[in-house]
């Protein structure tokens, strides 16, 4: 489900941000808007996307809202087609949407949760990256940024499937960069540690003041977007300076 309207001026760069309704995705959208990108904002909740749009200050013709559950198989194709119908191009894709249930051992995890973790954190980002790469190749270049997680490296108990999905996303980023670099396409994985968002519930073992902020992850995204044409930061790892789990 999306809005319809006249396409914006063709000279504006266009960015697609998934999970743009809150947290990291919203912070990324604000940074891109400040750099004069037109945006396609994707999430499941219209009210949150409308709030993100308002915070960007962009008019409707430069801030397309698309409601989509990226865990469904046809969602990536629908999202990309809607964007291209409106703007006709894509310069930056930020695969930020992701999900994991509370820490659960693999043997106790529900089958539907397993499928949703893999769909949101791995299948959908790969599908969107493939579609974006097709258009970017036609245009002569572009940037694809995948938001991963330090869980891929630390592999914490209770997050086996999530860690595997994010590790797969990092591996995909590195391999796809090798394939797409001759086409002028940059790929980068941002690998943050604990970020203070609503996806991480409050508990006594975490000092949230020590966690990364969504804005700090957005800064890393903009490092990739603004990197020199002849250089690509294929992976950026961000960790809190002080461990939020050991500071209490």
Q: Would you write out the chain's pLDDT as a tens digit for each of its 248 residues?
A: 566 444 444 468 999 999 999 999 999 999 999 999 999 999 999 999 999 999 999 999 999 999 999 999 999 999 999 999 999 999 999 999 999 888 888 999 899 999 999 999 999 999 999 999 999 999 999 999 999 999 889 988 888 999 999 999 999 999 999 999 999 999 999 999 999 887 777 777 888 889 999 999 999 999 999 999 999 999 999 999 998 987 54
Q: Supply φ then ψ for residue 35, to 5 degrees.
A: -95, 15
| Catalytic site includes residue 162 | yes
Q: Are 33 and 94 in contact (CB under 8 A)?
A: no
Q: Which of 162, 170, 218, 240 is catalytic?
A: 162
Cβ-based neighbours of 194, under 8 Å, separated by 6 or more:
150, 200, 206, 211, 212, 240, 244, 245
Tracing tokens 């990364």 back to the chain, one arrives at 212
Residue 1's pLDDT is what?
58
CA-to-CA distance for 56 and 75, rounded, in angstroms?
Answer: 25
Residue 101's pLDDT is what?
83
Residue 5's pLDDT is what?
46
Residue 7's pLDDT is what?
44
Instruction: State the pTM of this model.
Output: 0.92
Residue 37's pLDDT is what?
98
228 burial type by CB count under 10 A (0-12 exposed, 13-18 middle, 19+ buried): exposed
**Which domains can be identified in the chain, with CATH numbers?**
14-238 (3.40.50.720)
Residue 67's pLDDT is what?
98
């Amino acid at each position: 489900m999306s809005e319809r309207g006249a396409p914006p001026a063709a000279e504006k760069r266009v960015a697609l941000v998934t999970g743009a309704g809150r947290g990291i995705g919203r912070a990324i959208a604000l940074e891109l808007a400040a750099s004069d990108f037109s945006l396609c904002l994707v999430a499941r909740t219209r009210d949150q996307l409308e709030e993100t749009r308002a915070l960007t200050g962009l008019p409707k013709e430069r801030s397309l809202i698309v409601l989509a559950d990226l865990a469904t198989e046809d969602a990536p194709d629908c999202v990309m087609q809607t964007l291209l119908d409106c703007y006709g191009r894509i310069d930056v894709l930020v695969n930020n949407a992701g999900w994991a249930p509370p820490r659960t051992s693999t043997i106790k995890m529900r089958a539907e949760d397993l499928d949703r973790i893999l769909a949101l954190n791995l299948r959908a980002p790969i599908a969107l990256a493939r579609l974006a790469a097709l258009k970017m190749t036609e245009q002569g270049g572009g940037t694809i940024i995948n938001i991963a997680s330090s869980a891929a490296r630390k592999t914490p108990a209770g997050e086996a499937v999530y860690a595997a999905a994010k590790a797969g996303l990092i591996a995909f980023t590195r391999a796809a960069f090798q394939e797409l670099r001759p086409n002028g396409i940059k790929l980068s994985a941002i690998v943050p540690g604990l970020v203070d968002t609503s996806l991480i519930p409050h508990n006594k073992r975490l000092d949230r003041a020590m966690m990364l902020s969504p804005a700090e992850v957005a800064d890393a995204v903009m490092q990739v977007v603004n990197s020199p044409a002849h250089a690509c930061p294929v992976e950026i790892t961000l960790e809190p300076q002080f461990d939020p789990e050991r500071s209490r």
